[in-house]
């Protein structure tokens, strides 16, 4: 009887380990970084120049994007996942000028990944790169 219980516990432990590993690898795919060399706006929030962590949640091509500076969430918005034919070598941020002279983040590219995040209601996906993270 003890051998059967031990085997059941082993199988349960193995299953939980597999679930944790799958969840961990899914989380790793939903996180990246960006560097702003100049201030830019995202979802109505002005972000100063600096380094940020980008996290997104969702399935399919529509995700909820959250921007962190350190451990503090500084902005959140919706984003559209865009497939890239050729992954970029480094992270970069595409910004577009606004009518008031400010700069809005339109797209976040992640180095060596085959997708980018286009921000909804932040302008078209064209513009100049504001900065690259290494």
pLDDT score, position 81: 96
The total domain count for the chain is 1
Secondary structure (3-state) at 45: strand
Encode pLDDT of 26-77 as tens digits.
334 599 999 999 999 999 999 999 999 999 999 889 999 999 999 999 999 9
Whether residue 14 lies inside any domain: the answer is no
pLDDT score, position 19: 38
Q: Which domain holds residue 61?
A: 32-131
pLDDT score, position 134: 35
Whether residue 71 lies inside any domain: the answer is yes
pLDDT score, position 111: 95
pLDDT score, position 71: 96
User: Which residues share a beta bridge with 93?
Assistant: 108, 131
């Amino acid at each position: 009887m003890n051998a059967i219980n031990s085997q059941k516990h082993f199988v349960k432990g193995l299953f939980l380990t597999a679930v944790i590993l799958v969840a961990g690898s899914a989380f790793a795919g939903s996180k990246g970084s960006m560097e702003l060399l100049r201030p830019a706006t995202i979802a109505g929030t002005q972000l100063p120049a600096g380094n940020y962590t980008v996290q997104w949640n969702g399935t399919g091509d529509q995700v909820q994007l959250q921007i962190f500076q350190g451990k503090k969430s500084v902005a959140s918005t919706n984003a559209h996942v865009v497939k890239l034919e050729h992954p970029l070598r480094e992270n970069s941020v595409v910004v577009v000028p606004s009518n008031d002279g400010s700069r809005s983040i339109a797209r976040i590219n992640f180095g060596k990944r085959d997708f980018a995040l286009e921000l909804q209601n932040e302008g078209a996906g064209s513009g100049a790169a504001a900065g690259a993270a290494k």
